[in-house]
Amino acid sequence: MFPLSGFAPVVPAPGILERVRWRGHQAYDGHRSVLAVRPHSLADILPAVYEERERLQYDAELLIDRFVADCPEVYPRCRFNPLREEEIREVYYVTLRELSRSSIGSAELDVPTIWQRRLERLIEVDRADVRVSSRFFVHRRSNHLFRALAELSYVNRSARIGHVLYSFFIRHASQIVAVETSATIGQWCNAILRATMSESQRAECFRRVYELRPDLPQSLRRHGRRGQLVAECIERLSIDMSAERRSIGLDRPRLGVQ
């Protein structure tokens, strides 16, 4: 069902404020938060939420429940290191909260910045965790947030969130790939496939992975359909890289390069 194919919402005027009901962190006591969000900002950062809300007249909370229900990273659709439903809801809640706090025209900077900072903070916490040697997943906190944001980016076709994920992964790929298992690296890569980003950005992420773990595609084929999909993408990239290197090698004598 999602992401919405070919939708082009009519973007409202930027100065209008609209209330969005949200259960948020107070779900346990039945209270709801009411956030004042500019529809223009909502359409810019979370277009699927905006468009479906306009079309169906649903509260944002009900729409996000639908997105969570369809998410392939939540148990039982994902049985290896699954995300919790609350983790998907959290990325929507924080995004809506930041939209409610942003001034006109600043949401496109404020929202990516908050997620960039959270990812950086969580990977530092992962690195410093004294229990890391006894855990199967070394970067579990940052991995879960990365994958939850990838789902938000996918559903909403948000290249801004996708760019946050691309930049973060490029900065930390060497450490992630060096210490994680093949299956966990495959989950990072699957999130990169899901996120909305340019094909050149996606290829650069996979290039970093392949340079560090050229054996990864073979290992991932044992990890189900998603592992096979990631393996095929990395293998295609490796073929392109080999062809590029051969082309450079053939050009060297022609150019007089020794």
**What are the residue boundaries of the structural domains of the chain, listed by start?**
39-247
**What is the predicted pLDDT for the residue at 258?**
42
3-state SS track over 50-98 = HHHHHHHCCCHHHHHHHHHHHCCCECCCCCCCCECHHHHHHHHHHHHHH
Provide the token pair at 251.
């050009």
**What is the predicted pLDDT for the residue at 185?**
97
Higher pLDDT, 152 or 246: 152
Is-cis flag, bond preceding 76, omega within 30?
Answer: yes
Segment 214-241, tens digit of pLDDT:
999 999 999 999 999 999 999 999 888 7
Burial of 186 (0-12, 13-18, 19+ CB in 10 A): buried
Segment 138-181, tens digit of pLDDT:
999 999 999 999 999 999 999 999 999 999 999 999 999 999 99
**What is the predicted pLDDT for the residue at 174?**
97
Place of tokens 């020794």: 258
| 61 pLDDT tier (thresholds 50, 70, 90) | confident
Cα angle for residues 55, 60, 65 (degrees, 5° grid): 105
User: Number of helices and strands (H, E) in the chain?
Assistant: 11, 2
Higher pLDDT, 88 or 30: 88
Amino acid letter at 65?
D
**What is the predicted pLDDT for the residue at 83?**
98
Segment 99-123, tens digit of pLDDT:
988 877 788 889 999 999 999 999 9
- Calpha distance 91→203 (Å, rounded): 26
Q: Are 79 and 223 within 8 A, CB to CB? A: no
